[in-house]
Amino acid sequence: MEFRLMLESSPPTSVTSARTPSITLEGKCYILSDPFNLNNPESIPKYSCVSYAWGEERVPHALRANTTDTMSTHTIPAFVATIRAKRSRGAFWIDTFCVPRDEPAKRFTLESMGFIYSQCEEVVIMLSSTAAEAIEQMGTHGSGRVTEEGLRGLEEDRWATRLWTYQESANARDFYFTYEGASEKAALVNGVDLFNCLGFSLQQMKKEKGIDDVALMKLFPTLSNLEDVFVEMYVTPYGWRSAMVVMTSIQRRTVDSVQNLFYAMTCAITTKPSPGLWDMVDQDPAETFMRTCEENNDYSFIYSSDERDETPGRRWRPKPNQLIPILSSHSYGEAQRGHRTSEGLWLEGMLYFTTSPMMDPNGREWIMGLLNRPELVQEADSVLAQACVLKLKEFGFQCLPYDTASSLAPIETTEGASQSPPEYLILGDRIFVPQWPLEPARILRILVSNQISWSLGAPGLVEIEGTERSEYVVGVYVGYKPGLRPNANLISALL
């Protein structure tokens, strides 16, 4: 990769100006450095990274005067805001100026964004001017409350909805928030303070309006994204995010291209510079992501809603498509561990289940509590289970109808008519909801991860009898979180 920085410097002379791109901001001159030698890290000065949303409008590129290249109208304001926030810093990395123009250097640098952001001292995030009121309130009151008007202004900002900003925050060791047009005396809010203040303000609003978490997420979807950024920062060990965490987080962001989608996803799980890791020009970007996960010994990407590979011994593996998670709710867990042998893939730390004809009383009580539906106490198991299915759909469950998703024959009733199987499987004390309805007679085993979770359960796989060999259907186990069954009989499952 080619690594350059914008460095504070004396203005170039007339002799050097043609070959030394420079720009003057805040009364100081900044030049684009020559490429640094990554094998000599001591030669690289401490630097800050700039993070901002590009938006749609473009202007002529400030460092490429003799070209038709353009840049975002927010590039200069973001650079200025960062300079004002970090006056003592003389070196900065900002995408528009530091990413090379020509291939393959451009591609290698984009593939190395995880490395670039993981090596900086801090990331300065410039939000739009609509966030000014919220940022100033946070800066004034510390971790106090932001008004509803301030929250709505923060909601209008697009930073937390963009692809690239996800990996930028994912790799930051420390980060600060400012806003476009902020003066030198404006508030600069540390990420921890913003997280505490935002969480407190949203919880207070939820109480005042008498709404639940789902309703709050619908009211402030962007702020829910922003909260997830902080949850990952403080729950996930630095430098390690599971594929499932990345897949669920990225689904709530704007995707401009499949290639950029997987650049951002892969940069969020590795901080290795390119080439070396990705020096495979023709490799599908989704395949690159999955191979990187496998190198990290993380197989949680298998819990995607994509079709499965048809290659013998790899029928557990998704085809390299978009890798949409079976549930887009925020997930937890370091990784889905496993190991490959000549026999196939062994998933580690799995729970094994079989179906049951009915739910036990403890299971019913737990499910009603999860759904906050005490009025279902007298209803049949089928009504309670169907309520689980509806709740999952509220959280983005990627379900498919039976007639389009399954090639299996419908169940024959005693009257000779056919019917589709139910959308759920009863496991005694819990419910499992596969991606599409499954005929009970075809089910061989149900496996649930004890390492990856959501707030309402965990991902899993159902092995079913196929036409020629076993097939795998991903699904959601609505029950205990992984790790909360310390005495469970965990197994290593061969797929």
| pLDDT score at 141 | 59
What pTM did the predictor assign?
Answer: 0.83
Q: 10 Å Cβ neighbour count for 77?
A: 18
| pLDDT score at 481 | 55
Lowest-confidence segment of 106-120, 206-220, 412-426 by average pLDDT: 412-426
Q: Which long-range CB contacts under 8 A does 378-385 form with residues at least 24 apart? A: 381/426, 382/422, 384/359, 384/431, 385/359, 385/422, 385/424, 385/426, 385/431
Of residues 82 and 192, more confidently modeled: 82
Mean pLDDT of 437-465: 90
| pLDDT score at 175 | 87
Mean pLDDT of 205-224: 86
Q: What is the pLDDT of residues 347-374, one digit of tens each?
A: 998 988 889 888 888 888 888 888 888 8
- For residue 48, pLDDT over 90 is answered with yes
CA 100, CA 121: separation in Å to the nearest integer? 22
Angle, helices 243-250 vs 258-267, to 10°: value is: 140
- For residue 312, pLDDT over 50 is answered with yes
| Averaged pLDDT of the chain | 84
- For residue 309, pLDDT over 80 is answered with yes
- For residue 216, pLDDT over 90 is answered with no
Q: What is the pLDDT of residues 26-46, one digit of tens each?
A: 889 999 999 999 989 899 999
- For residue 487, pLDDT over 80 is answered with no
Phi, psi for 379 (deg, rounded to 5)? -80, 160
Of residues 407 and 305, more confidently modeled: 305
- For residue 14, pLDDT over 70 is answered with no
Mean pLDDT of 259-266: 88
- For residue 409, pLDDT over 50 is answered with no
- Say what percent of the chain tops pLDDT 90: 37
Mean pLDDT of 47-65: 93
| pLDDT score at 398 | 78
Mean pLDDT of 425-452: 90
- For residue 82, pLDDT over 60 is answered with yes
